[in-house]
Structure 1
Amino acid sequence: MDFAAIFGPLLHILTTPYLLGLIVLAIPIGMFFGAVPGLGGKLGIVLLIPFVFGMDPLAGAVFLLAMHAVVHTGGSVPSILFGVPGTGPDAATIVDGYPMAQRGEAGRALGASLGASGFGGVIGALFLAMMLPVLRPVVLSFSPAEFFLLALFGITFIAMLSGRSLIKGIAVGFLGILVSLVGLDPHTGSQRFTFDQLFLWEGVSVVAAVLGLFAIPEMLALGVKGGSISEVEGKAHRYDIRQVIEGIFDVFRNWWLSIRTAILGAAIGAIPGLGGDAASWLCYGHAVQSSKNPENFGKGDVRGVIAPETANNSKEGGSLLPTLFFGVPGSSGMAILIGAFVMLGIQPGPHIALTGMDLVWSLIWALALANFLSIFVFLAMAPMFSLLVYVRGALLIPFVLVLAFLGAYLSEAAWQNMVMLVGIGVLGYFLKKYGWPRPPFVIGLVLGAIAEDSIHKALAIWGPTFFLRPLSLVFIAMILLTIGAYIWRQYSADPASKEVHYDI
């Protein structure tokens, strides 16, 4: 192993104030784009491309990647405090993060999110570094058959998030799958449920759907309830920093879960086409599935914050691998990043393994440093953020609703998404009011489109025999084990644990 080739770029960044300064500057910018619902890392890259035009290729690439790497760290702030996802993948954080804020543990949830994001980002970068020699054949072995079964595997997690009523969870999940079918058929190009509306040709906006499903109902409920988001009044301000530090320690108390979800998130990120939404929900489902007390999830379990936040940041390291070496974007954000790289004079592709490893290692270390340094930036701000849950709802509701409508519009620059936001918000309100779980809808919406596209391609290439491919058999076994584990757990659970339901 050539340690000089690996650690030389790290030393170069640390001893070059210009590069280190760009990383430090990129961190609060990335957090801002993550914390404002509807903006996200993709828009951040687009808006910052003019500023890096003409820069040194390494400096420009380091700046954009560092900014994009910490977007989800900022996205956890509105998810936890207001139940409004900063970005699509942050929706999974709401399920347990928002209930923690409601019971006066916003600081702890923010601390757990911060620690998990930093830990996941560093692990994701290290995963990429260690797997460079062996991951190429694994990534290339994934075909539409494996994509379909991986999406199906994620859909089985609906059972884990259904609470006391499996029927309700499956019904809401299938509603999400039906909504994912809106748009142009990916193979024939014919319109499906678009009502001749151009903005529906690309399907229902996930950002608008998630904002409507979570933000609108929570603000309506807060307006009806009155008071503040936190249901625990009178928390002394001096405890907030202690809560944040306790949340960071929670990441290391659950170190095995943190490592598993970080590696799983990075592995999912390395598979082109799945994206961050799939990574966060799959890792959240894994946390529920592998827990000895799954009934605690959905009620404010800190592990429900750690799992998706670890995955959100670690998947960036994984998605960088196909982006750089194959020129195939590992996520939608990386697709825009490829364009920025080309503009800077960096041409992704297999040749980079021969001529550009210095650049690759520089980007890996920039990714790790950005996530590590973001801990200290966030740590300074988290106690102030955590106090927002004690502000009166009458002051917060207009602000949050404006953010929600702005996010729905900015996601695709379509005013019709604001109308959709209201419609899905009404649906979300009644789901919340009558105790129907909402997370299965998001799982169905995100994974339904992946499953549909993949099964068409798999059937066209192999026919029904794609189920007999070696990797396909592995995923089928995992799906059967997941269903079996759920049935066994329900059968062996005591009556008290069967009374669980997820209120988010």
Structure 2
Amino acid sequence: MIESAFEALSIVLDPGRIPFMFLGISIGLLIGLLPGLSGTVGMAILLPFVYGMDPHTGMAMLIGMAAVLHTGDTFPSILLGVPGSSGSQATIMDGYPLAKQGGAGRALGAAFFCSMIGGIIGGVVLFISIPLAKPLVLAFGSPELFMLAILGLSMVGILSGNTPLRGLLVGMIGLMLGAVGGAPAVAEYRYTFEWVYLFNGLPLAVVALGLFAFPEMIELLAKKQSIAKTEELKGSWMQGIKDSIKNKWLILRSASMGSLMGFVPGVGGSVVDWITYGITKQMTKDSESFGKGDIRGVIGPESANNAKEGGALIPTLLFSIPGSGTTAILLGGLSLLGLQAGPRLVNEDISITLSIVWTLVLANIFGAAACILLSKYIAKLSLIPATKLVPFLLVVLMVASYQSSRQFGDIFLFAGIGLLGLIMKRLDWPRAPLLIGFVLSQATERYLWISMERYGFSWLLQPGVIILGVIIIALIAGGYYLKRTSEKSNFA
């Protein structure tokens, strides 16, 4: 295996293939930089060009793009409070407040360094898992997937700060919004009001942009100031790297969690970073600063969202089970290159699989290095007056919303969810629980229905369900205990 790995590295570093990997990296960073776009869009753009390519070259370009998408999407999340993609939503919680305080360079440096380390760990997990993954992937049935969805929903209370009741209420609103459109289990449409646009449900990108981006743009315009409230940037990208090294165990823990959650089909990228953020907050004693510009709130989710790409490739390559839209299109790319996901890719085409591992690792290193070098200059966007920056950004956000389904309903939905987000921000209601509820709505309902149909109530006694249930209870109880301990120490 080791000999094959070094042989695959020499294939990846072939001078004729390196430019294609860098082309994929460039497109991935650009798509991440533009709010609202996703890895699905990047894959769809590149797919026609891989037809007829050498398999190693084609995969270098596709994996190069996918590997750095969640590196580039950090720019809008931290600088503008706009989710660059579904996997960078939790980064806003502390990254954007840091940018407001003039610490954009520091936040970006930490984010890119953690993304690089997380991506490398994801590649290592993919390499180790190749001979071991089959029994683990097959061990997850609908009951275990339902409990994973409940684990995600348990983050609702954690991310609600001192207002857990509000968080639960907002989370339920998110579940209701996620129920719009076709039911996952039966042939019926809900809350569509006979409007064809709603038949396929509400697009995640539009909901995320409206909930987080629109309120921030309006607030900036109202205050007539730049994003950063100071006239100079505090802390360089080097300071962010030092912060990351100081929290090395947090990086390792978050990246490991991201790899494991990405490995489970059905747990999307938009859930992984929220779960990681919530657990990071729960396991930190002095968590009062989270949501106000705590660098650990950037380190946790950024370590996880790149690491999950390595985990997500395990079921995709070994069992043809895509865990996201990006990996679903990647399967199409494999077919165009004359490859077939499954045991053959591990046995006969092992050089292809190992070249994917190397590309994943190298692309994360090169992508993060490029972003760190650019961060000093791009961070200055936070100093541009809102009256000049916001009109341009609103146009970009409207276009990004429209491309979700290319119907005018996207624009109306963006405005409607944006107004809801603005009202919640003004009333100091947490917005993150709404997005978590929305993302997990369909998966929760689908896996609960399948579990009840197949097992009745006996699925509650399955070992995997019990283990996940204990983890959920431990997280909630542990967070409550840490919060009480912190309150007592502050009072003392």
Could you say whether these structures have the same fold, taking a TM-score greater than 0.5 normalized by the shorter chain as the test? yes
* Contact 2:184 2:442 (8 Å CA) reproduced: no
Superposition deviation, residue 465 in structure 1: 1.0
Report the CA distance shift for 1:452/1:497 in structure 2 as closer, same or farther (over 3 A).
Answer: farther
* Contact 1:151 1:450 (8 Å CA) reproduced: yes
In structure 1, the residue matched to 2:174 is 176
Superposition deviation, residue 298 in structure 1: 0.5
- Corresponding position: 1:300 with 2:293: yes
In structure 1, the residue matched to 2:3 is 4
* Contact 1:295 1:497 (8 Å CA) reproduced: no
- Corresponding position: 1:481 with 2:474: yes
| AA partner of residue 3 (structure 2) | A
- Give me the whole-angstrom Cα distance separating, in 2, the residues matched to 1:41 and 1:294: 32
Out of 285-294 and 487-496, give the one that drifted further: 487-496
Question: TM-score, normalised on structure 1?
Answer: 0.95
* Contact 1:39 1:87 (8 Å CA) reproduced: yes
| AA partner of residue 344 (structure 1) | L
In structure 2, the residue matched to 1:80 is 78
Question: TM-score, normalised on structure 2?
Answer: 0.97
In structure 1, the residue matched to 2:150 is 152
- Give me the whole-angstrom Cα distance separating, in 1, the residues matched to 2:490 and 2:447: 37
1:376-428 Cα distance to aligned partner (Å, 9 max, x none) = 21122111111000000001111211121111111222221110111111110
- Give me the whole-angstrom Cα distance separating, in 1, the residues matched to 2:268 and 2:487: 38
1:12-63 Cα distance to aligned partner (Å, 9 max, x none) = 322x112222222221211101111122211111112222221111101111
Return the match for 1:193 from 188, 191, 199.
191
Return the match for 1:97 from 95, 112, 121.
95
Return the match for 2:347 from 354, 378, 381.
354
Superposition deviation, residue 220 in structure 1: 0.8
1:164-187 Cα distance to aligned partner (Å, 9 max, x none) = 111111111111111111111112
* Contact 1:432 1:438 (8 Å CA) reproduced: yes
> How many residues matched?
491
* Contact 1:272 1:328 (8 Å CA) reproduced: yes
Superposition deviation, residue 135 in structure 1: 2.3
| AA partner of residue 244 (structure 2) | V
| AA partner of residue 314 (structure 2) | L
Alignment of 1:259-274 (within 5 A): 259-274=252-267
- Give me the whole-angstrom Cα distance separating, in 2, the residues matched to 1:414 and 1:290: 43
| AA partner of residue 347 (structure 1) | Q
- Give me the whole-angstrom Cα distance separating, in 1, the residues matched to 2:58 and 2:373: 27
- Residue 60 of structure 2 aligns to a residue whose secondary structure is helix
* Contact 2:9 2:355 (8 Å CA) reproduced: yes
- Give me the whole-angstrom Cα distance separating, in 1, the residues matched to 2:114 and 2:425: 28
Alignment of 1:94-493 (within 5 A): 94-235=92-233, 243-493=236-486
Superposition deviation, residue 208 in structure 1: 0.5
| AA partner of residue 18 (structure 1) | G
- Give me the whole-angstrom Cα distance separating, in 1, the residues matched to 2:173 and 2:82: 21
- Residue 89 of structure 2 aligns to a residue whose secondary structure is helix
* Contact 2:55 2:352 (8 Å CA) reproduced: no
In structure 2, the residue matched to 1:502 is none
- Give me the whole-angstrom Cα distance separating, in 1, the residues matched to 2:232 and 2:58: 47
Superposition deviation, residue 152 in structure 1: 0.6
1:279-320 Cα distance to aligned partner (Å, 9 max, x none) = 111111111111111211111111111111111111111111
- Residue 201 of structure 1 aligns to a residue whose secondary structure is helix
| AA partner of residue 422 (structure 1) | A
Superposition deviation, residue 371 in structure 1: 0.2
In structure 2, the residue matched to 1:46 is 44
- Give me the whole-angstrom Cα distance separating, in 2, the residues matched to 1:383 and 1:6: 36
Identity fraction in percent: 38
* Contact 1:269 1:331 (8 Å CA) reproduced: no
In structure 2, the residue matched to 1:29 is 27
- Give me the whole-angstrom Cα distance separating, in 2, the residues matched to 1:129 and 1:231: 45
- Give me the whole-angstrom Cα distance separating, in 2, the residues matched to 1:458 and 1:335: 25
- Give me the whole-angstrom Cα distance separating, in 2, the residues matched to 1:197 and 1:367: 42
Out of 390-399 and 286-295, give the one that drifted further: 286-295
Superposition deviation, residue 5 in structure 1: 1.1
Superposition deviation, residue 449 in structure 1: 1.8
In structure 2, the residue matched to 1:494 is 487
| AA partner of residue 9 (structure 1) | A
- Give me the whole-angstrom Cα distance separating, in 1, the residues matched to 2:287 and 2:160: 11
In structure 1, the residue matched to 2:55 is 57
1:75-124 Cα distance to aligned partner (Å, 9 max, x none) = 11011111111111111111111000000001111111111111111110
| AA partner of residue 24 (structure 1) | F
- Residue 403 of structure 2 aligns to a residue whose secondary structure is helix
Report the CA distance shift for 1:234/1:112 in structure 2 as closer, same or farther (over 3 A).
Answer: closer
* Contact 1:467 1:473 (8 Å CA) reproduced: yes
Report the CA distance shift for 1:396/1:124 in structure 2 as closer, same or farther (over 3 A).
Answer: same
- Give me the whole-angstrom Cα distance separating, in 2, the residues matched to 1:458 and 1:365: 38
CA RMSD of aligned residues (A): 1.5
* Contact 2:285 2:486 (8 Å CA) reproduced: no
| AA partner of residue 474 (structure 2) | L
* Contact 1:37 1:406 (8 Å CA) reproduced: no
Unmatched segments (≥5 aa) in structure 1: 499-504
| AA partner of residue 433 (structure 1) | R
1:256-289 Cα distance to aligned partner (Å, 9 max, x none) = 1111111111111111111111111111111111
Out of 257-266 and 47-56, give the one that drifted further: 47-56
- Residue 230 of structure 1 aligns to a residue whose secondary structure is coil
Superposition deviation, residue 497 in structure 1: 6.3
- Residue 158 of structure 2 aligns to a residue whose secondary structure is coil
* Contact 2:30 2:72 (8 Å CA) reproduced: yes
- Residue 231 of structure 1 aligns to a residue whose secondary structure is coil
* Contact 1:28 1:377 (8 Å CA) reproduced: no
In structure 2, the residue matched to 1:501 is none
